Amino acid sequence: MDQLDSINFLYSLSGLVVGLLIGMTGIGGGSLMTPVLILIFGIHPETAVGTDLLYASATKTVGTGVHSISRSVDWQIVSRLAVGSIPATLMTIYALTLIGPASHETSTLITGVLGGALFLTAASLLFRGAILRIYADRIGELSLESTRLATTATGFVLGVLVSISSVGAGALGVTALLLLYPRLPMVRIVGSDIAHAVPLTLVAGIGHWFIGSLDWLLLLSLLIGSIPGIIVGSFLANRVSEAILRTLLSVILACVATRLVFA
């Protein structure tokens, strides 16, 4: 029992560190927590993903409340994303049940998609400025109808990625919204992305719970550390260079992705 308590303390400490990063950058939930659970603590990949999804839903609910109070959520964008992401999530969870929740094939699929999603997340963090410039020069602003359809398609892709790997709703979602809504203030982009992540991760997390890939004790331990971490990180956000944090985070994610894919 003492050993179990010690392990729970280490989970909470990990939640604290990741919570600090989430508070400072808005990124780090699935991108860091899932690899930490798999690589450091040896948690089964599907259990790590399922637990992290509900962890992300709980933490981002807090963020959504803050953004809602400050009126920095565009609910029309959130609904467009959800129209694509929720069906994609349900389809993906069903596919995972057919493969088998604890099978070797599922573990291979999760680690492969997780590694790929982490590479994409690192690239979107490191090269976001260049991506936005190239997109603006070659494609520019879409029509209202095209933007609506592209937003729903983005939600579909995020639904698949997040349901399998728990990664994608943060940096990838923000980058996609910046491309689709170049006139929207950054704070509303971030607020809308966080708000959309709540139903997405909640539905995906509940799906993983039904197929047996969830550890409630682990979830509670992570939240004990992450909630105060997010609060402190939010206060530190304006005192730390965003460029330095994003560069450091992208390098860490690329290293973790390499470890997962080529292990």
| pTM exceeds 0.85, yes or no | no
Work out the burial of residue 71: count CB atoms within 10 Å of its CB; fewer than 13 is exposed, 13-18 middle, 19 or more buried.
exposed
Residue whose structure tokens are 């390499």: 258
The total of structural domains in the chain comes to: 1
Per-residue confidence (pLDDT) for residue 153, from 0 to 100: 96
Give residue 2's pLDDT: 45
**Could you tell me if 46 and 24 are in contact, meaning their C-beta atoms sit under 8 angstroms apart?**
no
Report pLDDT for 1: 46
Amino acid at 247: T
* Cα(74)–Cα(1) distance, integer angstroms: 47
Residue numbers of the domain that contains 57: 2-261
**Can you give the pLDDT at residue 85?**
95
- Residue at 52: amino acid letter: D
Residue 249 pLDDT: 76
pLDDT at res. 28: 63
Which regions of the chain are under pLDDT 50?
A: 1-4, 6
pLDDT at 6: 47
